[in-house]
Amino acid sequence: MVNWFRSAATMALSLALVGSAGAAEKMKVGFVYVGPVGDFGYSYQHDLGRQYLQQQMGDQVETTFLENVPETDSGRAFEQLARSGHKLVIGTSFGFMYPELKIAKSFPNVKFEHATGYKRSPNLSTYSARFYEGRYIIGQIAAKMSKAGVVGYVGSFPIPEVVSGIDAFMLGAQSVRPDMKVKIVWVNSWFDPGKEADAAKALLAQGVDIIAQHTDSAAPLQEAEKAGKLGFGQSSDMSRFAPKAILTSIEDNWGDYYVGETKAVMDGSWASKDTWGGLAAGMVKMGPYVNMPDDVKKMAEDTEAAIKSGKLVPFKGPITKQDGTVAVKDGEVMPDKEILGLNWYVKGIDDKVPQ
Amino acid sequence: MNPDFVQLVLITVVTAATPLAIAAIGELVAERAGVLNLGVEGMMIVGASVGFAAAYLSDSTLLGALAGTVSGVAMAGLFAFLVIGLAANQVASGLALTILGGGLSGLIGAGFVGQKRTAAPSLSIPGLTDLPGFGRLVFGQDMFVYAGIALIAAVAYGLARTRAGLTLRAVGDNHQSAHVLGFPVLRIRLLAVLFGGGCAGLAGSYLSLAYTPFWSPGMTAGRGWIALALVVFASWRPWRVLAGALLFGGATVLQLHAQALGVGLPGQLLSAVPYLATVLALVLLSWRNRRGAAAPAMLGAPFIADR
């Protein structure tokens, strides 16, 4: 009975997924999200990418998405999509890595993409974005806009992605104001609005006048607005949460990448690779520069253009570690592998990376 | 240390403690009547979404809080139907309620993601709120904080000093005897569970209306589970719930302030303080009360009247 019910349910689900296939030449692209599309953050931005793909390709593609998929149980979601005629299946969370890899091996004719992971196979590509480029820009803005000379930084977990973001932020800040200070508070969560707000309050109580954040909710930015101070948006344009406090947002922008990969599958040029794109590739986008004087805005735009053109590289030497040892020599550029494993602060940060 | 800073820290401790205290005092009443409702997290998150939606549509924080409370009562009603009406397993039903709440709240709140409201207004009494050092702490909180303290006082008084409270405790400690004495065991449990749901809903709406005034799926971030731990930590005594909430909320907030001050405290360890404190409390309780446990004797046991 139970088995009958389960297979009936599976059939219904596959029918629902296949049902709308319609014209045979439409290519089907499936997305798997870890969170709800309504999180107004990470999964939401991926879904904007999916909508962009649908809009750009029109009748040529049909997109499907599965939201709120638990990482441990994601294999079923990938198999479901692969079985129901999807030619390109995209998983957007780090924790999907092994389940997706396993399913990719069983479906060699389907192409797979995995965001923020590092395991590849002949039909599984990985991709991620160089968010630290945006953090270099907001570091410069913060250094120009801060009267106190101290900025507060709400961090999630002390992992390389976040630590390299703090370093890039401070390198940017120091490039316009060498004595810039930062206070860092870790909340040990990606998403806990209450705790993020408390962290921002604690930082504001210590006299910081700008809040930067590497957590997912708009709560820290809202605290900055409430206190009459300034802040930055994370993942999406958060200006509606804090119209007076927001300076700009570092936005995830996956649409162009999804269009490119879909076209590559269509014309047969798709190949397994790793993509780590930044501002130049359009994977990282800066929100509108607002609530700042024109000269600061101009500086930010110039920096953005310089990073895009490759004239400015955030992790270019000389870079000195806290203890004074040289991490990157003058004129040299830190290799990607080192950025991906970064676990130390640059000189000028008066704090320790939690171990 | 300057008194304004101390006051500011204490205010953040109070705001962090409030949702825990309100949710826990409701759960305490349900548990004293013998019903273990593990669905606090689910009722809270529904209260947060319904509270925000109602407040946004009506442009009234009070109506929002009311709607959040009612939605918590409705969720608890569903739970009561299962565990009181059908004598279903309380642990399984409570967990199901939490999962249901997570999905339902996302559905209700879908249209309100990314909307914002101004936070619930704080009390302002000329002359008192401006007092240096403690004015804002004592006279400048929002209505949820005062409501929470009033609820705890009422429950403490009610359970210890009123006939209804003593009857409720009798039902939780020995439902068979209470039944034989003629008390309506199931009805009393139903009311206790509904009260617990209302408190959880109110605590949830506090999150989306006052703490961080926006709606986002999963914004309770485990506070319902901490409230459950808090009831055990408080050994089912109302005033200890208040003390525990301040301790649990304080542990979280103080370590954030410590980090901002540059005092090196292990953040991960301090995040675990509520749970460690609960385990410690359990150990101490079972040590001291070897003659009889502090928990209501009928906790988790369904009541089926013998005819």
User: Which of A189, A199, A352 is nearest residue B264 as measured by Cβ atoms?
Assistant: A352
Interface contact A185-B259, CB threshold 8 A:
yes
In whole angstroms, what is the distance from residue B207 CA to residue B213 CA? 7
pLDDT, residue A16, reads: 44
Chain B residues within an 8 Å CB radius of A192: 219, 221-222
The predicted structure's pLDDT at residue B307: 56
Share of chain A above pLDDT 70, in %: 93
* Cβ contacts of B104 within 8 Å, gap of 6 or more: B42, B46, B49
> Does the structure show a pLDDT above 70 at B89?
yes
| B9 near A CB under 8 A | yes
CB contact under 8 A, A222 and B116: yes
Interface check B101 vs A, CB under 8 A: no
Binary contact (A194, B221; C-beta < 8 A):
yes
Residue B211, min C-alpha distance to chain A (Å): 6
Highest mean pLDDT among A222-231, B127-136, B264-273: A222-231
- The first and second tokens of residue A98, run together, are 């092994």
pLDDT per residue as tens digits for the range A143-169: 999 999 999 999 988 888 899 999 999
Find, among A152, A95, A150, A88, the residue nearest to A119 by Cα: A95
Q: Is the pLDDT of residue A41 over 80?
A: no
- For residue A69, the SS3 value is coil
Single-letter amino acid code for the residue at A105: K
Higher pLDDT, B307 or B140: B140
Mean pLDDT, residues A30-51: 86
**Which chain B residues are closer than 8 Å to A354 by Cβ?**
266-268
pLDDT tens column, B162-198: 999 999 999 999 999 999 999 999 999 999 999 999 9
Q: Is B289 on the interface with A (CB under 8 A)?
A: no
Chain B residues touching residue A184 (CB < 8 angstroms): 259
Residue B283 or residue A227, greater confidence? A227
pLDDT in tens, A66-116: 988 888 889 999 999 999 999 999 999 888 999 999 999 999 999 999 998
Question: In terms of CA atoms, which chain A residue is nearest residue B107?
Answer: A38
User: Which tens digit of pLDDT belongs to each residue from A75-88?
Assistant: 999 999 999 999 99
Quickly tell me which residue has 């909508």 as its tokens.
A51
Domains for chain A: give ranges and CATH numbers. 25-129 (3.40.50.2300), 132-251+286-340 (3.40.50.2300)
Q: What confidence category does residue B291 fall into, taking pLDDT thresholds of 50, 70 and 90?
A: low
Position B8 confidence tier, pLDDT thresholds 50, 70, 90: confident
Please give the average per-residue pLDDT across B124-131, as a whole number.
82
pLDDT at A22 over 80: no
Among A38, A189, A195, whose Cβ lies nearest the Cβ of B113? A38
* Of B145, B152, B151, the residue nearest B120 (C-alpha): B145
User: Minimal Cα distance from A236: which residue of B?
Assistant: B114
* Average pLDDT of the segment spanning A121-129: 94
User: Touching check for B1 and chain A: CB below 8 Å?
Assistant: no
Across B266-277, average pLDDT: 72
Q: In sequence order, what are the beta bridge partners of A182? A: A151
**pLDDT value at residue B292:** 54
Q: What is the CA radius of gyration of chain B?
A: 20
Most confident of the following: A246-260, B1-15, B290-304: A246-260
Residue B1 pLDDT grade (very low, low, confident, very high; cuts 50, 70, 90): low
State yes or no: pLDDT of A119 exceeds 70.
yes
Q: Where are the alpha helices (DSSP H) in chain A?
A: 2-19, 42-57, 74-83, 97-106, 131-145, 160-176, 193-205, 219-226, 255-267, 294-309, 336-340
pLDDT tens by residue, B128-145:
888 887 888 888 888 999
**Chain B residue with minimum CA distance to A205:** B5
| Beta-carbon separation of A188 and B267 below 8 A | yes
Q: How confident is the model at residue A306 (pLDDT cuts 50, 70, 90)?
A: very high
